[in-house]
């Protein structure tokens, strides 16, 4: 699973954007670089290339306890504080969780 967007590594599909699989089936996670409070970030999840199982804003919902997400095409969120964040995607449930580290 690849995370493409403005949080980590840009919109390309290289190794910097690969997400780690957690122990739970269907859950992938990525840790952000230092993000700036008040900045809106956007991203999508894909299976490795554009047009292959793209998961944008219309295809997912926020998981319980997640920071709010939005967007029309890309998933967006606004960082409430300077810091690093963990973004998790449950591709079986189609939920996204964004948490402050």
Q: What is the pTM of this model?
A: 0.77
Domain span at residue 11 reads: 2-100
Q: What is the pLDDT of residues 3-55, one digit of tens each?
A: 445 555 555 555 554 555 555 678 888 888 889 999 999 888 877 666 767 78
- Tally the domains of the chain: 1
Domain of 50, CATH number, reads: 2.60.40.10
Closest CA to 57 of 80, 28, 89, 100: 89
Residue 60 has pLDDT above 80, yes or no: yes
Residues contacting residue 24 through CB under 8 Å, at least 6 positions apart: none
């Amino acid at each position: 699973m690849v995370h493409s967007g403005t949080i980590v590594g840009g919109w390309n599909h290289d190794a910097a954007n690969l997400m780690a699989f957690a122990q739970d089936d269907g859950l992938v996670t990525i840790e952000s670089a230092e993000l700036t409070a008040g900045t809106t970030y956007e991203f999508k999840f894909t299976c490795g290339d554009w047009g292959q199982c793209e998961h944008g804003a219309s295809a997912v919902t926020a998981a319980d306890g997640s920071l709010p997400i939005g967007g029309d095409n890309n998933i967006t969120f606004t960082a409430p504080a300077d810091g690093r964040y963990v973004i998790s995607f449950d591709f079986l449930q189609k939920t996204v969780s964004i948490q402050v580290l």
